[in-house]
Amino acid sequence: MMKSRVESRGSRVFGPALFVCVVVFLAASSAAAASRPAAEQTKIDWLLEEVGNSKATFIRNGKEYDASTAVSHLKTKLLFAGRRVQTVRQFIVGVASRSSESGLPYEIRLPDGRQAPMEVWLLERLAVYEKGQPKR
């Protein structure tokens, strides 16, 4: 009986603490994005959507990840980069092209088997966007 009270009390403490952490994280994320020029943030968002819709395999530090995991990872890195990333090209080169941990370049393997450095693929997708012809 006593144990359940302690567990119950602990759950009540961590519940609000976890909620506060999530709110702070979301606010920081919004603040970092808000400090970026809107046109640049739009391009970054579009590229992240392209990654998510690619059905590609992402290779980071020798391990393979699906598209949704790659998007989540890139969003986290972008959040931590904060105000240092003001343009889509800074995002591509400084966040989305290589591992901060190992320095190894990220790669992408498309569903048709073609494999390329992530930086090259993202720059190609950006060129499509900037021509005003977003195609997948």
Cβ(95)–Cβ(81) below 8 Å: yes
Cβ(100)–Cβ(61) below 8 Å: no
Q: Which residue has the higher pLDDT, 36 or 2?
A: 36
Q: What band does 62 get if pLDDT is binned at 50, 70 and 90?
A: very high
3-state DSSP assignment of residue 116: strand
Non-local (6+) Cβ contacts of 65 within 8 A are: 57, 58, 59, 73
Name the one residue in this structure whose structure tokens are 């005003």. 132
Going by C-alpha positions, the residue among 131, 133, 104, 101 that lies closest to residue 118 is 104
DSSP state of 105: B
Encode pLDDT of 82-125 as tens digits: 999 999 999 999 999 999 999 999 999 999 999 999 999 999 99
Encode pLDDT of 17-46 as tens digits: 444 444 444 444 444 455 899 999 999 999
3-state DSSP assignment of residue 136: coil
Q: Give the strand order in the sheet containing 63-65.
A: 63-65, 57-60, 107-109, 115-117
